[in-house]
Structure 1
Amino acid sequence: MKVALEHYSDQYQEDLTNFLLPKEQEQFTTHPADQLIRLTEEQSPVVIKAGQKAIGFFVMEKSERLKHYTKNESAYLLASLSITKSQQGKGYAKQAMQLLPDWVGKEFPSCNEIVLSVNLKNDAAFRLYARTGFEDTGRRITGPVGEQRVMRLKLKDENFI
């Protein structure tokens, strides 16, 4: 089944409330229902859909936090990516990340770079991002559960700092 990206709306609240994460992944991400409760106006929640069902979630963010990741003022931060447990291993996260550049280009036209951080212990996430075009910047930051790699995906041909 193919996936699609869509801005969050209340029609997905039940799917995201019933979202399950494997125990070993809980340390690396925020449960979608918890993330939705504490959204700020600088955060745009995004649903990963398979058919009409929300099977994944992440947040695109344009805030002061970006300064920890990049000096590029046209960048957006991707945070809290997850796929519900029953749908993992089916390639949905990879499909979503492959759709991301075009989708962000339409939904956030001023964005020319997507940045994120991934815990050094989270090899599966690092491999996903690397396989879908993100590059390790070599920068490291301290996150809630240890050291994190800063990664980026260039969207437009421009000079990056």
Structure 2
Amino acid sequence: MAAQTNLAQTVQLAFYHPDHKDVLYSFDLPQEQMQFTGMPTDVLEPAIQDEQQYPIVILADSRPVGFFILHNSETRIEYTDNETALLLRAFSVNNADQGKGYAKQALLQLKDFVQQSFPQVEEIVLAVNMRNLAARQVYLKSGFLDEGRTRMGAIGPQHVLVMPIF
């Protein structure tokens, strides 16, 4: 329990800042993970240019270790009917920082971060490829719910997971 408390103190979520760019662009993922997510080098610039996308950085001791994007765009209607939902996409943790609990800790902090930054949001929704079992388990252990919805993604069927924000 002490390790989890300590990790909670060192991991935090922050909106992207240009100071993060070089570290994010150096991210590396194993080939089997790259098929399931967007790399910062591919998705960061388009997100910065789109006022309905919010790049979020996972920091550990103020160092970027992970990344994702929250979407407030019409794209979310592919995943939910809730007009006050945010769509989470392109979640990744740098290969060198995997296995340290950063992904889970960041996801555990996500609800509070969204409540503070987007008070109108009622849920966060994401889609995870059915073959990406490890990611699905992390999402479920971090407060996302599987309500049995699925969709077809670019590389196969996906589970649609929801995190209610109350």
1:8 aligned onto 2:9 = no
Where do 1:1-161 residues align within 5 Å? 1=7, 2-39=10-47, 40-156=50-166
The answer for unaligned runs of 5 or more in structure 2 is 1-6
Q: Deviations over 1:35-93 (max 9, x none)?
A: 11222221000000011211100001011111111111111001110000000000000
Distance 2:18 2:100 in 1: 25
Q: TM-score, normalised by structure 2?
A: 0.92
Counterpart of 1:159? none
CA distance in 2, matches of 1:52, 1:150: 31
1:80-136 Cα deviation digits (max 9, x unpaired): 100000000000000000000001100111111000000000000100011011111
* 2: CA distance, partners of 1:23 / 1:67: 30
Q: Secondary structure at the match of 1:13?
A: helix
Higher helix share: 2
Specify the SS of the correspondent of 2:82: coil
TM-score by length of 1: 0.94
Q: Aligned partners of 1:65 and 1:117: how far apart in 2? A: 12
- What count of residue pairs does the alignment treat as equivalent? 156
The answer for unaligned runs of 5 or more in structure 1 is 157-161
CA RMSD of aligned residues (A): 0.8
Q: Following superposition, which runs of at least 4 residues in structure 1 exceed 4 angstroms of deviation?
A: none
Identity %: 43
